[in-house]
Amino acid sequence: MISIIILFEVTKTSNITDVKMVVLRLKHQRYMTALLSSTTILLLLYFQNSLLVFTYGSYGFISKEVPCECSICVTDRENSNWFSERYDPNIPLLLNSTNSVLRSNVSRWWKELQLNAGNYTEVVDQLFPLFPDKEHYSDTGPDRCRTCAVVGNSGNLLGSKYGPLIDFHDFVIRINKGPTEGYEKDVGSKTTHRIVYPESAIDLDNSTHLVLLPVKILDIQWLISAFTTKNITQTYIDVPSTIKADKDKVMILHPEFIRYVYDNWTEGHGRYPSTGFLTLIFALHICDEVSVFGFGATSDGIWHHYFEKTLTSFESGIHAGKFENETINRLQQENKILMHKGWT
Ligand SMILES: *[C@@H]1O[C@H](CO)[C@@H](O)[C@H](O)[C@H]1NC(C)=O
Ligand SMILES: *[C@@H]1O[C@H](CO)[C@@H](O)[C@H](O)[C@H]1NC(C)=O
Ligand SMILES: *[C@@H]1O[C@H](CO)[C@@H](O)[C@H](O)[C@H]1NC(C)=O
Ligand SMILES: *[C@@H]1O[C@H](CO)[C@@H](O)[C@H](O)[C@H]1NC(C)=O
Ligand SMILES: *[C@@H]1O[C@H](CO)[C@@H](O)[C@H](O)[C@H]1NC(C)=O
Ligand SMILES: *[C@@H]1O[C@H](CO)[C@@H](O)[C@H](O)[C@H]1NC(C)=O
Ligand SMILES: *[C@@H]1O[C@H](CO)[C@@H](O)[C@H](O)[C@H]1NC(C)=O
């Protein structure tokens, strides 16, 4: 027991040769040799590798700087260079009154996505008298273990019986119109966040955060209108003039976050990232552990939503489906997300 503690102390310096030297030194000290039977030494040598794994690995077993209280934390930057190169913990996630000014290159890119951009500054000035103006989710730390389920709309959820598992997560983040009513067994009934844009918005219950994905300035104008004048009824298609949702739970994804996902995670493929993909990366920034449900095709390769029969396209031209798929696969390989593929 004593020797194991000594080894732990030594591995804190993260040096293999130190460990070996101490083991050797211990062997030469007569009173310690009495203490350490040869089997103990063999055991120690045997465990040396796993100790090193613990030191360098994702378990935060020895390191004092554990990023969260879960067994594996998204933000543990030690265990994946690929991830660390892309993940920027300081990127603004959600708009508020103090971070709303866009850097000129972000602004230029974002405005190019839209047909006739309104005056962003004027629109944003109306936002925060109306919606909560604060910093969200800055509570990361060693005492937090926030588990999240990101629930996509794939037909592979049908028959999965994932409902109770999904609802077990602290946050359940859903995307666009994906309903729960009538599908509870497979998709669960809890929704803490729903990511929408005007064309995909539905009524929410009062425990759900409406998280707007602003692809264009008009989307922000629509959000304001939906809670005030209700006079925006059209974007490029008819949209609901209003929706049921708790005004005090409204959040707006930051255009700079959208650009960051485009740069760092889809590496410039497609025009801008899909809602599902943005939601997944958003979850990596507000959660400590991320489980992913309802992404991808059914086991026989069919792409459709669990709530409708029409087939959906995988590569739309706007979004880089293939590249997003590869990035999601890699996130799984790097232990950053846990994929649940469904049963059908
Ligand atoms: C925008 O410009 C800043 C420097 O002004 C640079 O650091 C940043 O990487 C640029 N961002 C994009 C998305 O090009
Ligand atoms: C947007 O509105 C602000 C405030 O009304 C004004 O100062 C600015 O010049 C406008 N920008 C453009 C591009 O029209
Ligand atoms: C707005 O968000 C930023 C982080 O993006 C944060 O530093 C700032 O304190 C927030 N402002 C308000 C008013 O909450
Ligand atoms: C939220 O909705 C439930 C059921 O629709 C209702 O019973 C409850 O009073 C509502 N809570 C608030 C704060 O509006
Ligand atoms: C909606 O109403 C506001 C204020 O009454 C007005 O400024 C705006 O132009 C109207 N928008 C549309 C699309 O009718
Ligand atoms: C990710 O973003 C950061 C800054 O936000 C940048 O320095 C870095 O080069 C980006 N990495 C990739 C792979 O795009
Ligand atoms: C997405 O990735 C999975 C896992 O590697 C693969 O089986 C599937 O064929 C990919 N989908 C497409 C459409 O490329």
Q: Do the domain assignments include residue 240? A: yes
Residue 112 sits in the same domain as residue 242:
yes
Cα–ligand 3 centroid distance for 98 (angstroms): 6
Is residue 141 domain-shared with residue 288, that is, in the same domain?
Answer: yes
Q: Which ligand is nearest to the CA of 122?
A: 2
User: Residue 25's Cα: distance from chain center in Å?
Assistant: 47
* Number of domains observed in the structure of the chain: 2
State percent of the chain over pLDDT 70: 79
Residue 302 confidence class, pLDDT cut points 50, 70, 90: confident
Q: Is the CB of 90 under 6 A from ligand 2?
A: no
Distances (CA, A) of 142 to 77, 109, 159: 14, 37, 37
Please check the confidence at residue 173 and state whether its pLDDT lies above 60.
yes
Whether residue 272 lies in the annotated active site: yes
Roughly what angle, to the nearest 10 degrees, separates helices 2-11 and 38-56? 30
Average pLDDT of the chain is: 82
Domain membership of residue 157 as a residue range: 77-340
Which atom belonging to ligand 5 lies closest to the Cα atom of 232? 13
**Mutation pick for ligand 6 pocket among 88, 91, 269, 285 (CB with most ligand atoms within 8 Å):** 88
Ligand 3 atom showing the smallest separation from residue 134 Cα? 14
The whole-number pLDDT of residue 39 equals 43
Asked if pLDDT for residue 139 goes beyond 90, the answer is: no
Give the model confidence (pLDDT) of 3-38 as tens digits.
Answer: 333 333 333 334 443 434 444 444 444 444 444 444
* pLDDT higher than threshold 80 for residue 335: yes
**Across 94-117, average pLDDT:** 89
The gap from C-alpha 8 to its chain's centroid, in whole angstroms, comes to 33
> What pLDDT is attached to residue 314?
62
Q: Which residues pair with 238 in a beta bridge?
A: 234
Asked whether residue 308 is assigned to any structural domain, the reply reads yes
Question: How high is the pLDDT of residue 35?
Answer: 41
- Encode pLDDT of 188-243 as tens digits: 999 999 999 999 999 999 999 999 999 999 999 999 999 999 999 988 899 999 99
Residues 181 and 241 in one domain: yes
Does 319 show up as a binding residue in the annotation?
A: yes
20 with 128, same domain: the answer is no
Q: Name the residue at shortest CA distance from atom 10 of ligand 1.
A: 105
Of the chain, the percentage scoring pLDDT greater than 90 comes to 60
Answer whether residue 72 is part of any domain: no
- 148 with 232, same domain: the answer is yes
Place of tokens 């004048």: 229
- How does pLDDT run across 246-285, given as a tens digit for each residue? 999 999 999 999 999 999 999 988 889 999 999 999 999 9
Indicate if 16 and 160 belong to the same structural domain: no
| Per-residue pLDDT, 58 | 46
Specify if 55 maps to a domain: no
Inside any domain, residue 60: no
What's the 94 CA to ligand 6 centre distance in angstroms? 19
The answer to whether residue 28 is catalytic is no
Confirm if 306 and 158 have CB atoms less than 8 A apart: yes
Per DSSP, what are the bridge partners of residue 174?
151, 194
Give per-residue pLDDT as tens, 286-296: 999 999 999 98
Choose, from 87, 120, 260, 272, the residue flagged as catalytic: 272
Specify whether 189 is located in the same domain as 117.
Answer: yes
Give the residues across from 234 on adjacent strands.
238
pLDDT of residue 315: 62
CA of residue 221 to ligand 5 center, whole Å: 10
Task: Read off the pTM.
Answer: 0.81
121 lines ligand 2 (CB under 6 A): yes
Going by pLDDT thresholds of 50, 70 and 90, the confidence category of residue 45 is very low
Flag whether 305 is marked binding. Answer: yes
Q: Exposed/middle/buried for 169, CB within 10 Å: 0-12, 13-18, 19+? A: buried
- Is 136 marked within a binding site? no
Q: Is 276 annotated to bind ligand?
A: yes
Residues 144, 291 share a domain: yes
Residue 62 included in any domain? no
In this structure, what are the phi and psi dihedrals at residue 196, rounded to the nearest 5 degrees? -140, 165
Nearest alpha-carbon partner for 171 in 138, 194, 200: 194
206 lines ligand 2 (CB under 6 A): no
Q: What is the pLDDT of residue 113?
A: 86
**193 is annotated as contributing to ligand binding:** no
Which CATH number characterizes residue 227's domain? 3.90.1480.20
What does the pLDDT read at residue 343? 63
53 token code pair: 């794994």
Q: Which of 169, 254, 319, 340 is catalytic?
A: 319
Q: What is the pLDDT of residues 68-97, one digit of tens each?
A: 999 889 988 777 899 999 999 999 999 999
Do residues 105 and 194 both lie within one domain? yes
What atom of ligand 6 comes closest to residue 264's alpha carbon? Answer: 14
